[in-house]
Each structure stands twice: as C-alpha cells, then as structure tokens.
Chain A
Amino acid sequence: MPSGNFAIRTLKSAALFGAAALYTVYTAGPIAWIASMSLRATPDIVRAPYALPESFRFDKFVAAWTTSNYGVYFWNSAAVVCAAVAIATIVGAMAAHGLARHRFPGSRYIGLAIFSTIVFPPQITIIALFQVLVDYGLFDTLAGLTLVYVAIQLPLTIYLLEAFFARIPEALYEAARIDGYGDWEIFWRITLPVGFPAIATTIILNFIQLWNDFLYAVVLIADDDRRTLPLGIQKFMGDQMEDIGMIATGMMIAVVPVIVVYAFFSERLIQGMTAGAVK
C-alpha cells in the first residue's frame, strides 16, 4: 500500500516538525521577546508587553553604551573573561595533558582532588575567597576577579580535557618522541592541535559561564568603573522601579559576544561533544 505508507511518513514528518517547532518557540521565544523589548521604550513595554516594536529604538543601544557606562562594563567583562578563559585553557590543558599521559605516584589522587572541587557550590567558597582577596589586596580589582574565575573554571576544564586527551592514541605521542620531540613540544605541537575540538568546547563553556557570572562579580567588585556587564544590567533595577526596556537593551549587548564566540567555535564544539562516539 504505497499511498498508505506515504500518509504515515507524512504524518510522522509533520509530528516531528511540530515538536521541533514547539521546542524552538519554547527556547527561542524569550530571546526574541527580549530582543523586541530592547528596541522599544519602557512606557511602550509597560503598556503592551508582548507587542512588536512600532518604531525601532536603536538609540537605546547608543544611550546604554555611552550614558549608562556600558562601554566600561563591556570592556571590563571582555578583559576579565578573555584573560580567565585563556589562562584556564592553557593551564588546564597542561594539567590535563600531564594527567592523561603520565602515570606518576599520586597522579590519581591529584586528579581526584581537582575534580572533587567541581561538586562544591560557589556559595560555600565565596566568603573565603572574599577574605583571601582582601588579604592579598586583590579585592575590587579586575586581576583578583580574573584569578577567581580561573580557579573556579579550572577543575571542569581539566576534567573535560583530560577525558579527551586520554583518548588521543598513544602511538601519536610515541611517533613524536621518535621524531625527536620532548614532552613540552609534544604538548604544543600534538596535544593542543589534535585536542582542539575539546579545547573549543571548554572555551565556549567557560566563556558563557564567566560572561554571565553575577555572584562572584557582585561580591568581589565594588567600584562602578570595575563592574562587569551583569552588574551593569543590575543598575537598571532599582528598589522602586525597573527600567525594563534598558535591561533588555543591556542584555542584548551582553549576549552578542556569547553568540560571536559560539558561532566561531560551534563546529569544533560539536566535534568535541561527539568525539569518540564513532571511530
């Protein structure tokens, strides 16, 4: 019954398409709503929260960037997050390379000790971190926040990279050794390029995590000129009123770098996530 089969196939495709469309609306809907609000004035939004923009208020982005100090917050975020991600990636990759390739006395316990820190929620460590930063003169500095970001992201970075590096065939390293390369050069010339899908994955995850961080920044940064973007958005939330339109504009500014980083590394991210799934 070819026509019957065709009907069943069409029905299945329609059900699949419907489910995918529903999921897309569910996940992308709030983002579209924020994007819509970022181009509308707050009184308009209050009057009709779900309406589409009658006129596109791009001037709100200029205002947020210039008059609301968003430029400073943006560059603070960019500097702290890029530095932290770079350090966490390099140091994490080195540690992961060491743990994945070398078995030395205590290596298993060192690995366990590092990975066990992943399970602690940030609320447990933040008071101690605050005290340490104060003691070392790093409180309310971008360097201090960078170091904290490196520390909190390093275990997950090592965990992900170690799992990937351990799957790189040993013969590749042995071939490089016979070709005359030492461990340091092998790390730069073999581990990093071959492990790039996993590194791209950790870069994206770390970048998103740190770019959106609010908790550590709000505790460890006090001065307005050293605020990061999430703290800048909070400025539009007062005790008596919220400038919902400017919050939406601020969020759209904040989300752009994440999209750029994701778009840049996404292909590698998918490779990293599926690595080892097929030979």
Chain B
Amino acid sequence: MGEVTTNIPDSKPSAPVTEAAMDDLDKDAKFKTRNVDVFYGDKQALFGVDLDIRANEVTALIGPSGCGKSTYLRCLNRMNDTIDICKVQGQIELDGMDIYSNALDVVHLRAKVGMVFQKPNPFPKSIYENVSYGPRIHGIAAGKEDLDQIVEESLTRAGLWKEVKDRLNEPGTSLSGGQQQRLCIARAIAVQPEVILMDEPCSALDPIATARIEELIDELREKFTIAIVTHSMQQAARVSQRTAFFHLGYVVEVGETDKIFTSPDDKRTQDYITGRFG
C-alpha cells in the first residue's frame, strides 16, 4: 500500500505577495488598494493586500472559506465601518481618491459603489419601493416620472422587468429566491453606481437562477465595474476577466482568468484550482 500524501500548504506563506501579483497593478485602475491590513479586534484578517479592480471588468475573488475575500470586498465600500471592532489600515483609492479621506463622504461612496449580498435581502416593501429606495434618499430623481423611469430601467437591466411589471406593488418578499436577488441587483443599479460589489450572490440560489444571474453579470459589465466573491471556481472562470486568489488573508496571485485557471504561477494557486484543498 502506497503512502497517501496530502499536500498541505504552509500555514503562513513565506512571501506575502508574489511577483506576479505586483506586476498586475495598474495605475489607471478603478479601485487601487495598497498594503491593506484589516483587524477584527486583535485578530488580523488581511495582510498587506495589494490589488487593483479595473474598470468595466469583472474581477473574481476566489479562495477557501474564511480567507478574507468578503472582508476585502467590504472594505471597498466601507461596510466594515458598521462593525465596531474592525480596523482598516492601508490605502484604498477609488478613481485616485482615498475613500477614507474627508474628501469622499461615505454616503457618497456607497452611492458610487453598490453591493449585492449573499442572501437576498429585499426590504419588506413593494417591488417598486425597493428599487426606488436608493434614488429617493439620494434625491437622484427629478420627479415622479423620472423615478418611474429609473425603476423601469433598473428592473430591465436586472432582467426582471418583464416578470414584475404588472405587479410592482406587491411585496418584494413574495418573489422567488432568484427573482429576489435580481431585485436586489436592480435596487443597487438604481442608484447609478460605478462599481457593483457582489458577495457570493448565487450561493443561496438554484442552478437555473444562478445561470440567469451570471448572464446578467456579463451584460452589466458594459456599464459597471464588478468585483465578485465566489466560492465556485467554475463560476469565476465563466464570468470574470481577472481573478485574484486569496489564501489565509494574503493575496497569493492575481492575473487574467484564463491564465490563473490553466497555468498559475504559484503552487498554492495550483493546489487550490485542482481541488487539493478548499
């Protein structure tokens, strides 16, 4: 009987960032993060993350559970501010502006950077009110007609208009899981953001709904910059142009999706892709 060797990777990578990751940085990127550390109390969750999100592209963030992908994503729209014990250090820039500076207000930031969550969370309001919530509070719409148009456009872009146009007054919670998630996407779109962050948007959905949303993501990237955290490598391969591999709070490798999935530079990436751990 031969020995069964399992390739267990190092508990702490020897070098935080590989050469390849450094090369990937682009000075014109939409989002530039440099040397970002994130702490939950005394526990450090992210170590010196250097990563760029490029405009009008879908960037996938992959990696095993608990390695910081969602934490990173939540830094980009400062959702980590809502957690008391969370501390963010380092530099995060959107279009060249430090998002933690006083020049960019957090409310304004979140209007520019929208978020779709893992579990669909429509408000217990009507479909119309769900989508019009954002534009209303920001004062984006010029009047009722303008608001109606925004709602219609957003629902159309999210691929939901045909299905709900006759029942806009029904509660958002009466829709199916997949529809609810598309409603949440429509809600995020209605605020006219530039970036949409998606935190495992399909993990609570069935395959058919997942397929529809993946189609949607592909269409959306024409207008928006998208960063998507996903557990499914196949999904990452399907929808994204660039992929970043996170492991234990470090960005191990970043690059074009094709390259990452066929011939990654780092062994750990290779091991993850081939399913040796996860």
Q: Do A and B come from one complex?
A: no
**Chain B residues with a Cβ under 8 A of chain A:** none
> Which residues from chain A sit less than 8 Å from chain B, CB to CB?
none
